[in-house]
Chains A and B, each alone.
Chain A
Amino acid sequence: MTALMERETSNSASSELFEKEATKYMDELFASALRMTKQREAAEDLLSEVYSKAWKSFHQFEPGTNLRAWLYKILTNTYINHYRHKQREPYMVELDRPDDPDTGQGGDLYDRILGASPSPFDNPDAVLANRILDQDLTKAIEGLPEEFRMAVLLSDVQNFAYQEIADILSIPIGTVRSRIWRGRRLLQRILWKQAVEAGIVTEDKKGKAPV
């Protein structure tokens, strides 16, 4: 009886600790969920499902290991299993098709701005700092094909190391490297396309990027 009571006390203490620790990550998990589902309502449902699962299986969690990464693993798994199939969308850029059929190049933002702009005021850094808005970046990341979006999100937005991303997504670290590489290149191609569409830069290589 005493042993049971002790166990109950210790369980309840650790569940309180778990609640306290796990809820710290609510906002950042929500931000990630939003970039995955692209819809606020779906992201909220996803988030509560994540916490519900985490709560049910928190006895499987080993104290001292990385709680944040564990929650992200639940998030990505839940998203992949329950949400992904509901919203297949055409990608904003095609993966291996070059943008420029003449050169065969799929120029990214940096190269394209450098190529288009003879003015030092329109260098890639200036365009990024002054003309590319936060919402452009959000839209671009949401336009990435999912496997690249997940890798870039975990790396650039949530600052996970490659090995942690490999564990979260259950893929080899070499795959993480190549997804981040291609994901970032694609992201820049999307940003370039958006910038052209918005009239921030001009596609004509001979022309000058508008001020």
Chain B
Amino acid sequence: MNCDEWFEKLYQILDADLSNKAVWKDLQDHMKGCQPCWDRFEFEKRIKARLKDSCGKESCSETIRARIKALFKK
């Protein structure tokens, strides 16, 4: 497996979207032996984590919370 082939499947490893164990192993093996691809993978992992942290942490206001709770009383 070369770096281009690996790169095409990068997100399938990142998102655990692979059912074929042989392909999974090939991807892992390539990454372990290839520092640039390993670094790339780590970067993608971090950016995914940063997105979750920055975009996922919001709280809705008490006003809207009360408005929604009131819906359930109808």
Contacts and interface: CB of A to CB of B under 8 A. Distances in A.
B59 interface: yes
A30 B60 CA distance: 6
A26 B69 CA distance: 10
B42 interface: yes
Interface string A138-169: 10010000000000110111110110000000
B51 A44 contact: no
Interface stretch (A1-9, A46-54, A62-70, A97-105): A46-54
A48 B64 contact: yes
Interface in A1-58: 15, 19, 23, 26-28, 30-31, 34-35, 44, 47-48, 51-52, 55
A55 to B, nearest CB: 5
A31 B11 contact: no
A106 B67 CA distance: 45
The bracket for how many chain A residues form the interface is 35 or more
Given A137-B51, A158-B56, A19 B11 contact: no
Given A51-B68, A55-B72, A27 B60 contact: yes
B60 A132 contact: no
Give the most central of B46, B54, B67: most A CB within 10 Å. B54
B25 interface: no
A40 to B, nearest CB: 8
Contact of B68 (A26, A128, A129, A137): A26
Contacts of B59: 27, 30
B68 A155 contact: no
Contacts of A52: 71
Contacts of B69: 23
A128 B46 CA distance: 8
A83 interface: no
Contacts of B65: 26
12 contacts: A23-B69, A26-B65, A27-B58, A27-B60, A31-B55, A47-B64, A125-B43, A128-B46, A155-B15, A161-B16, A177-B12, A184-B11
Interface of B: 11-12, 15-17, 39-40, 42-44, 46-48, 50-61, 63-65, 67-69, 71-72, 74
Given A177-B12, A184-B11, 19 more contacts: A27-B59, A30-B59, A35-B55, A44-B61, A44-B63, A48-B71, A110-B44, A125-B43, A125-B46, A129-B46, A134-B50, A137-B54, A141-B55, A157-B51, A157-B55, A161-B15, A177-B17, A180-B15, A181-B11
